[in-house]
Amino acid sequence: MIVYPAIDISKGKIVRLLRGDFSKKKIYKNDLIEQVNIFESNGADHIHVVDLDGALAGKNINEVSINKIIKNTECKVQLGGGIRTLNDIEKWIDIGVHRVIIGTSAITDESLVRNAVKAFPKKISVGLDLYKEHVAIKGWTKVIKEKKADYYFKKFSDLEVESIIYTDISNDGVLQGPNFKSILKYKEMVNVPLIASGGVSSIEDIKKLYSFKVHGVIVGKAIYDNKVKINEIFNIK
């Protein structure tokens, strides 16, 4: 299982939100590269990066900061937030992003995912952010109620994306533990690797996800609030 330390960027700084609420944004670090170096020196080989401002705006906002991360780490970077077109995807892959996450546009334009998977094999992940069994898009500001999330998990699994990143919005940033029941449900539903996100609060949570044999877990607030020891989380067995 891969542990992905999270770097959520807003206005060039590392921040965390509470259940996706931008009005409850907390700044943790001004120096992105210092944090990247901390992750890497403690054993990380992957980093999960999100352009939060880009997710809201529908276009990349923190390009300078993201470029700086890519150029200053040996870690494989998976990137999401504001990626809406094939040109966006190609640009980031050319710059050095290991895997691109399509979120909002995967829901509003399913053909983008189909075309992206063909054009960039093994480089495309889909992010499904759920609020009460429904997918939320546009920086979690709009909930899609026409179809339940099950439809999208099956759809993108059938399209053979490289992975699906499942975030439980209600658990995100609150340090109350992941939604283990739903994680297990969606893991068994899809035929592609599942990465779990939202709610990790302890090393025990990570070990439990390891026992579920999920492909990966994203850890953010638990790191920044010192709920887990960073030198332990990358060697879970």
Active site residues: 8, 129
Contact 229/223 with Cβ under 8 angstroms? no
User: Helices 180-189 and 203-211 sit at what angle, rounded to 10 degrees?
Assistant: 30
Residue 181, by phi and psi: left (phi above 0), alpha (psi -120 to 50) or beta?
A: alpha
User: Helices 110-119 and 86-95 sit at what angle, rounded to 10 degrees?
Assistant: 40
